[in-house]
Amino acid sequence: MANVIVKTDFTFPGLKNKYVGKVRDVYTIEDKFLIMVATDRISAFDVVLPKGIPYKGQVLNQIASRFLDATADICPNWKIASPDPMVTIGRYCKPFPVEMIIRGYLTGSSWRSYKSGKREICGVQIPDGMKEHQRFTEPIVTPTTKAVEGHDEDISKEEIISSGLVSKEDYGIMEKFTLGLFKRGTEMAAQKGLILVDTKYEFGKADGKIFLIDEIHTPDSSRYFYLNGYEERQAKGEQQKQLSKEFVREWLMANGFQGQAGQQVPEMSEEWVSQISDRYIELYENIIGEKFIKAEAGDILKRIENNINAFLALK
């Protein structure tokens, strides 16, 4: 489809390294800046799907940028500027090899695990008798390892510290930040008639200080329910109305794909790709509470490159 960016190959002054993630392309400039380009790639079950989604990168970048600004009083973050609708430039940090996942409700992968009989997630005990989408008494932190390739793996706080992945002191700071960020995100979501169900945060270190890095509270890293009607749907045992990427996972599962070896990604029709794009835009407008303004099309790669070079020329 037109206006879709699934690959970048820029050469910036001072470029030291380029890392291609599932969705973002990250350029390191002289161990000073990270340039993060949110592409239109989409992933599910840790697999990048074969087609990009129009405006998805812009949606993700602009939501993350807004929430980074709105939570900077809770913990320092890496953002310096967002010179393009699909780009954030920030401080270079060395990332911790874990993702801090926090869950307010029993849903998604945690529900699938619970339904199979497990009563512990990442060392956290889950009581018997819970229902799908039920709220936990208090949010639980269920970290994972951060895989360079393939699937992230669940891991407990105790295992992270004992294995030396993260020091006890640093983990304590990350956990405190995670709880504070989730509380703020929950409050901001409620103001928009939404429930922040679960999310993940990533942290890095620079000059001995811990920073929030990467995205925050986007539909790729978070799950939202509509607040209105939540209790009624829960009482009737109905599925919750969601604003998240879960609808993509559900479509894949319904078509026989869960990222397992030997499984084939189902064909993504242009109509389905367009529907996903519309859902991401809907999500933006609900989370941010403003109409989504599509960035200029045309030569998007040239636009991105020019905007980044203009920023770097001033630094």
| pLDDT single digits (tens) 36-71 | 999 999 999 889 999 999 999 999 999 999 999 999
Nearest by Cα to 83 from 41, 40, 16, 35: 35
- When pLDDT is cut at 50, 70 and 90, the band that residue 104 belongs to is very high
- When pLDDT is cut at 50, 70 and 90, the band that residue 242 belongs to is confident
Whether the pLDDT of residue 99 is over 60: the answer is yes
Whether the pLDDT of residue 243 is over 70: the answer is yes
Whether the pLDDT of residue 205 is over 90: the answer is yes
Round to whole Å and give the CA distance between 212 and 37: 17
Sequential DSSP letters for 159-204: HHHHTTSS-HHHHHHHHHHHHHHHHHHHHHHHHTTEEEEEEEEEEE
Answer with the residue of higher pLDDT: 209 or 247: 209
Round to whole Å and give the CA distance between 133 and 268: 28
Share of residues in the chain with pLDDT > 90 (%): 86
| pLDDT single digits (tens) 123-160 | 999 999 999 999 999 999 999 998 665 567 899 999 99
- pTM value is 0.90
Structure confidence at residue 4 (pLDDT) = 93
Structure confidence at residue 150 (pLDDT) = 57
Q: Work out whether the CA dihedral 260, 264, 265, 266 comes out positive or negative.
A: negative
Q: What is the mean pLDDT of the chain?
A: 94
Round to whole Å and give the CA distance between 219 and 312: 29
Buried/exposed 204-237: b ≥16 CB within 10 Å, e otherwise: bbbeeebbbbbbbbbbbbbbbbbeeebeebbeee
Share of residues in the chain with pLDDT > 70 (%): 98
Round to whole Å and give the CA distance between 202 and 219: 15
Domains of the chain by start residue, with CATH: 15-94+276-313 (3.30.200.20), 96-244 (3.30.470.20)
